[in-house]
Amino acid sequence: MNDQIIAREFIELVKKPPIAVVFLNRPEALNALSVGLMRNLAETLEELDKDDNIGVIVLSGKGRAFAAGADIKEMSGANEDDFISQDRLGNWDRLRSIKKPVIAAVHGFALGGGCELALICDIIIASEDAQFGQPEILIGVMPGAGGTQRLARAVGKYRAMEIALTGRRITAQEAHALLGEPECC
């Protein structure tokens, strides 16, 4: 069977059953997580979750980054009513409800919301150039989509606090060292 490629506004989907590869496709913005991209992503993953021909979903980003975080330009003009009407957190809830395994294939930046997106996946495979972090503190906000809790469960409270409160990025090698070897059998 040939690969089936489906292009959406901010997503490119490649189906090769039983595998589906979903690419965040805003490379000019380092795959910043805009409302439209998050809506496209949630819709795509929900469709794949219902597709009996798909057994696993791989999530990656086009261009130089997995996802460099929230779309700060889009958020800068938004007020509380905009956040509610756009249901920004609802899209994250939709992603958390996916039952099929989702593997994050991370390269380049996975910062802020991008780090949170990787952490929501079941497995993270990182290239040597991957950088993880929650730099929101550097612009005066805290991570807002559950990333602080997921990061603390993954690396422990002390390291999570250090990463979130300093905005420091960690390399794929540092992340691997913090996480240790996977448990076996």
Q: Are 180 and 174 in contact (CB under 8 A)?
A: no
- Annotation says 113 is catalytic: yes
Active-site pick, 112, 113, 114, 147 = 113
Active-site pick, 105, 136, 147, 175 = 136
- Annotation says 162 is catalytic: no
Q: Are 64 and 108 in contact (CB under 8 A)?
A: yes
**Can you read off the two tokens belonging to residue 14?**
């490649």
| 36-62 burial code (b ≥16 CB/10 A, e <16) | bbbbbbbebbeebbeeeebeebbbbbb
Active-site pick, 67, 68, 70, 164 = 70
Active-site pick, 29, 116, 130, 172 = 116
- Annotation says 63 is catalytic: no
Beta bridge mates, 131: 109, 171
- Tell me which DSSP letter residue 183 carries: P
- Annotation says 9 is catalytic: no
Residues noted as catalytic: 70, 113, 116, 136
